[in-house]
Structure 1
Amino acid sequence: MRAGAYILTTTRMSGRVTPNPIDSDENVPSWTPARFGVRSVAVVVIVGLLSIVGSLCSFSLCPAQSVTPMPEASTAASEPITPIPDPPAIDPLKVSLGKQLFNDPRLSRGNSHSCAACHDVQTNGATKQSRDLGLDGSLLQFNTPTVFNAALNFRFSWRGKFPTLQADALASLASSHIMSITLGDAAEKLRADPSMRRAFIEAYATGPDADNIVDAIVSYERTLVTPNSKFDRWLKGDATALSEHELKGYRLFKSLGCVSCHQGMNVGGNLFEQRGVFTAPPSSPPDVFRVPSLRNVAVTPPYFHNGSAPTLDEAVRRMARSQLNTALPDADISAIVAFLNTLTGEYQGAPVRAAP
């Protein structure tokens, strides 16, 4: 779940879409007007009118109070974004075991691939590739999203097919493109290892089985949160945490409407949205995705579901055009990117960093 992939989605909240139940990302049909519905077309028209009003406001034809100056410091209660808390208290034996499993290639067919191969928690929780390679050496369908703060999302995978971390983990293990293993086979491998048997008995009072393998992995993933970003410190009242340039970026982020889809604790990850409200990339028709989190977005390039934007500046520029029908000046893009950089948090006391 790459945090930076597909940012600044739209100015509206009313276009939320629930995807049809499907078996895999590969089987999801592209967006069509018939699927998306007349209501959403009406919403697009309304958003377009609002964009025109916004443009008029930029020429001083609207009251000056339409963009309210931000205070020097803020609190989580007064903002649409809230701070990430410290990692939850989970049985350390289960977390430790889950970490071992996350890094264990025996959870894949042929013992060739671990979860950490695509989700490197020593760097950004993902990789630097536009799309990672599957077990057979072919490119995966989507850019790999970061595992950091994934537990804070309301649904999982780019299509949002999975309602829980458990379901997401099960799907990754079973996927012929990712791990391609049954839980029965995985448990059999682990039971053959005396040290792993002991670790499971210590944590679960029983040996490896389908349920506790998944539970251990999910227990570990729930601890992969990144609190204490500069923006979180500002939200908690540290008036010196952000520069004026960064604050300008946050004001723009709110006044342009980016915050309509990127808000809450995870700065996104809590609704579905159409990609390409106003314009869609020539090679990609309009489609619906789960809005990604912007936490750690500055260190998770490349961006979008297909990894097609190499830099954050380019991603902001493209999404402003396609989702807001706005051609942002370079100065505004610079300020927004400066704000997005303040969303980089810490894992185990060190700032999250980009993959080398």
Structure 2
Amino acid sequence: MSGFALTRYLRRLLRRRPFVAISVLVLSGLQPSEAPPQLAPPVSSASSGIDEPITPMPPAPALDPRKVKLGERLFGDTRLSRDNARSCTSCHDIRTNGASTKRRDVDLNGAELPLNTLTVFNATHNFRFSWEGKYRNVNADVTASLINPRIMGSDLDTIAQKLNRDPAMRGGFFAAYGRGADAENVVDAIVNFEKTLVTPGSRFDRWLAGEAKALSPEELEGYRQFKSLGCVSCHQGVNIGGNLFQRHGIFHPLASPDPAILRVPSLRNVAATPPYFHDGSAPTLDDAVRKMGQAQLNTTLTDPQVKAIVAFLHSLTGQYRGSQVGGEP
């Protein structure tokens, strides 16, 4: 979503949710307009995507298939870890939701990690990486996971040496890069694969494209509530989040107090990625929506509001390789 479109849309929220809307404008580097604010428009039965705060997920980019195939092999290769016991798929299961079902995954020594695992699906559309937004690009994020002593615990040169001892893997690197495995192309191959881990084709994307019957009346009402309450102030754009930082627990405590400021997570495929929040403390979407209403909007949502918003969130589940993410119906 462009800065101009976001500014125009958030102007409409200023009257109902001035704190949330203005805080997002500041965090985004935008300034509130002096023009009279307007309320969010009603949701119609179909949308062309024009003037909506959420934009459709595009298909995967066209990349060198040799690099993508090699990256996929590496993503599931346990030789990337220090003890040859875990791979990227150990925490990011692309057969299901791109993450795991655990509240928090464990490190190489079996101790629980401090934060819930974020899904790898659509991750390359985020503007920063990790819950705290420590990494500015996917290359840095991949590298950090490989060398983190608690996650993979290895180093790039050691990984390359292991892979070059395998004639088939070495051949794969020569086919894709014209040379054997090294610190640079190991990371690059994984990055190429991760760029293909996008999940277009959600029912909400189809509605944005003008398919009127893609959403039920309840889902449409949930989207209307999502916009009018102010949820969309932080969750918008192509990834329905992932493009700004925000403080959690603005009005009431939400989850573990640290870290206090987080990169807003994407809501794509959110129905398939429980548990929720950075500490994994919300077991269901219903619970997460109610807590977000209190903590971030200072609003006690009614049961019908929660039901409608949860229904809308289910419409955000996309497809990967022809199947719904997480086995969503």
TM-score by length of 1: 0.82
Which amino acid letter does the alignment assign opposite residue 162 of structure 2?
K
> In structure 2, what is the equivalent of residue 100 of structure 1?
73
Show the counterpart of 2:15: none
Q: CA deviation at 1:189?
A: 0.2
Is 1:138 matched up with 2:147? Answer: no
- Alpha carbons 1:321, 1:327 under 8 Å: kept: yes
Residue identity opposite 2:140 in structure 1: A
Task: Quickly say closer, same or farther: Cα 1:280–1:69, change in 2 above 3 A.
Answer: same
Matches within 5 A, 1:78-97: 78-97=51-70
CA distance in 1, matches of 2:220, 2:295: 24
Which residue does 2:247 correspond to in 1?
A: 274
Cross-structure match for 1:28: none
| Conserved? CA contact 2:132–2:259, under 8 Å | no
Indicate whether 1:310 and 2:280 are aligned: no
Code of the residue aligned with 1:268 in structure 2: it is: G
Q: In 2, Cα distance between the equivalents of 1:286 and 1:323?
A: 16
Of residues 70-79 and 257-266 in structure 1, the stretch that sits farther from structure 2 once superposed is: 70-79
Counterpart in 1 of 2:185?
A: 212
TM-superposed CA distance for 1:15, in Å, is 4.9
Quickly say closer, same or farther: Cα 1:211–1:261, change in 2 above 3 A: same
1:187 equivalent in alignment to 2:189:
no
Residue 16 of structure 1: how far off its partner (Å): 7.2
Alignment counterpart, residue 14 of structure 1, candidates 14, 23, 37: 23
Identity %: 57
Correspondences of 1:103-252 after superposition (within 5 Å): 103-252=76-225
For 1:188 and 1:67, locate their aligned partners in 2 and report how far apart those are by CA, in whole Å.
57
Contact kept, 8 Å, 1:302 with 1:308, in 2: the verdict is yes
> Matched residues in 2 for 1:17 and 1:287: separation?
17
Give the corresponding residue for 2:13: none
- For 1:332 and 1:98, locate their aligned partners in 2 and report how far apart those are by CA, in whole Å: 43
Measure, in 2, the Cα distance between the counterparts of 1:80 and 1:14.
Answer: 17
Q: Deviations over 1:1-22 (max 9, x none)?
A: xxxxxxxxx833535788xxxx
Partner residue in 1 for 2:3: none
Q: Does 1:338 align with 2:311?
A: yes
Q: CA contact under 8 A between 1:173 and 1:182: conserved in structure 2?
A: yes
Question: 2:218–2:308: 8 Å Cα contact kept in structure 1?
Answer: yes
Q: CA RMSD in A?
A: 1.7
CA distance in 1, matches of 2:258, 2:188: 38
Instruction: Give the aligned length.
Output: 300
| Match of residue 256 from structure 1 | 229
Question: Are the counterparts in 2 of residues 101 and 107 from structure 1 also a CA contact under 8 Å?
Answer: yes
Could you list the runs of 5+ residues in structure 2 that have no partner in the other structure? Answer: 1-18, 28-37
8 Å CA contact 1:148–1:225 kept in 2: the answer is: yes
Measure the CA separation in 2 of the matches of 1:181 and 1:318. Answer: 38
Distance 1:332 1:206, change over 3 A: same
**Cα contact 1:17–1:272 (8 A) shared by 2:** no
Describe the superposition over 1:224-252 as per-residue Cα deviations: whole angstroms up to 9, x where unpaired.
00000000000000001001100000000
Per the TM alignment, residue 78 of structure 1 is displaced from its structure 2 partner at its CA by 2.0
- Superposition deviation, residue 285 in structure 1: 6.2
Counterparts in 2 of 1:283 and 1:83: CA distance versus 1, 3 Å: closer
Distance 1:248 1:154, change over 3 A: same
1: CA distance, partners of 2:286 / 2:23: 27
Q: For residues 341 and 130 of structure 1, do their structure 2 counterparts lie closer, same or farther at Cα, with a shift above 3 Å needed? A: same
Q: Distance in 2 between matches of 1:301 and 1:149?
A: 17
